[in-house]
Amino acid sequence: MKYRAAVATLAAVPLALGLAACGNNDPKATGYRPSIPAETPTAVITKTAPPIVKAPAARLNRVTFVPAMNSALTKQKSWRITGRMTVNGTVGMTMNGVQTAQPSAMSMEMSGAAFGGKTAKIIQIKNVAYVSMPGTTPAGKFVKIKASAGDLGQLIDSGDPTAIFKSFGSNLGSVKFVGAETIGGEALDRYDVTVDTAKALALQHKKPPASAPKTMTYSLWMDKSHLVRRMSFDLLGISMLMTMTDYNKPVHITAPPASKVVK
Look up residue 199 and give its amino acid.
K
Q: Are strands 128-132 and 261-262 parallel, antiparallel or unpaired?
A: unpaired
pLDDT at 57: 64
CA-closest candidate to residue 77, choices 57, 56, 105, 52: 105
Q: pLDDT at position 199, please?
A: 84
Per-residue pLDDT of the chain (263 residues; tens, 9 = 90+): 433 333 333 333 322 222 222 334 444 444 444 444 444 445 555 556 666 655 456 799 999 999 999 999 999 999 999 999 999 888 989 999 999 998 899 999 999 987 888 999 999 999 899 999 998 899 999 999 887 766 666 767 777 888 889 888 878 899 999 999 999 899 999 999 999 988 888 777 677 788 889 999 999 999 999 999 999 999 888 899 999 999 999 999 999 999 999 98
pTM of the model: 0.74
Q: How many CA atoms lie within 13 A of 72 on its CB side?
A: 18
Q: Which class for 21: exposed (0-12), middle (13-18), buried (19 or more C-beta within 10 A)?
A: exposed
Please choose, from the candidates 229, 247, 253, 255, the residue with its C-alpha nearest in 3D space to the C-alpha of residue 78.
247
* Domains of the chain from N-terminus onward: 4-10+61-262 (2.50.20.20)
